[in-house]
Amino acid sequence: MTMSNTTKKHCNVLPGTVIDGKWLKNKYKIVKMLGAGANGIVYLAEHQGQLVALKISGDYGSIASEINVLKSFSKVQGSSLGPYLLHGDDWERNGRKLPFYVMEYIQGDDLLSFIKKRGEDWLGILLLQLLSNLGRLHEQGWVFGDLKPENLIVMSPSHHIRCIDVGGTTLIGRSVKEFTEFFDRGYWGLGSRKAEPSYDLFAVAMIAINVFYPDRFQKQADSRNQLLKLVAGTKGLQKYKVVFQKALLGDYNTAKEMRRELLLTMQVKEEKGDQKRTTRRAAAKKKRNGFAETLIILFIVSCIYGLYIYSQLMG
């Protein structure tokens, strides 16, 4: 889904523009655009020497909904579901009133960039974090909806994963209001767009696939088997095959279920890795011991031979 031309026109702001809040009288200097969704544009802005993220929209309903989502996030103790909401306001521009809200600016790399830099071994670790976050979100009665790598930031240096851009977040039971086709089970013919935990969990599996296919791909006629075979046939995904295939088919009811099986899979993989390392170390030790024994035997044989030569000479 893309933003309408009307919304884009009114919300397009050049760097250096100062946005004056109508009610709170705060001023925000636009630094650059961070991203655009179906119902608004997010900017990096400066306020009183601090960097913040500011989202402008032409739709009061969407802004009010997103503010409610962020407020809901803030009620979850210790939550890292999304950015912290700072405040909301209006901006009068060319005789038109545009609603906006200001939130924490989360710095770091998006998921794909982080894994490209750090390696594929981070995938399981980050997905465990993501599933914990999604579990808390679902317990609050929401589905993230537009879940994709661009909306996931890995903070530095803590390596905590955070969700940004809550524009697609939808109350459970309703129809998902914003989505990206590649991560949408409706597009792949593997379920409806009803907002329920399994909708997000499908997207988690597609995010994992996207790590190994960064350019993405088009669906084929038999899209179900296309995805299942791809998971089974891709080296980096094979170790998580059962978990991701179940997520694609909607076999998990909760993020907690998926997280538990993913963790178990990772533990089994680690144990197998430990066994292989132990076997390699034992083989290396045996080889070293064998070499040492050979040296000792050679030394003993040399001594005996030396004594024999000496006795012959003395005799």
Catalytic amino acids?
A: 146
Question: Mind giving me the DSSP string for 39-69?
Answer: TEEEEEEEETTEEEEEEE-S-HHHHHHHHHH
What would the two tokens of residue 309 be?
A: 């030569």
Question: Mind giving me the DSSP string for 3-18?
Answer: --HHHHHHH---TT-E
Q: Which long-range contacts (CB under 8 A, 24 or more apart) does 245-250 make?
A: 245/205, 247/198, 247/201, 247/202, 247/204, 247/205, 248/185, 248/190, 248/202, 248/205, 248/206, 249/190, 249/224, 250/185, 250/190, 250/191, 250/198, 250/201, 250/202
How far apart (Å, rounded) are the C-alpha atoms in residues 89 and 24? 7
What would the two tokens of residue 233 be?
A: 């046939």
The SS3 call for residue 192 is: coil
How far apart (Å, rounded) are the C-alpha atoms in residues 57 and 298? 84
How far apart (Å, rounded) are the C-alpha atoms in residues 265 and 268? 5
Which of 127-147 are b and which e, b meaning 16 or more Cβ less than 10 Å from the residue's Cβ?
A: bbbbbbbbbbbbebebbbbbb
Q: Is the CB of residue 176 less than 8 Å from the CB of residue 153?
A: no
Taking the alpha carbons at both ends of the chain, their separation in whole angstroms is 103
How many C-beta atoms lie closer than 10 Å to residue 38's C-beta?
A: 19
What would the two tokens of residue 102 be?
A: 């200001």
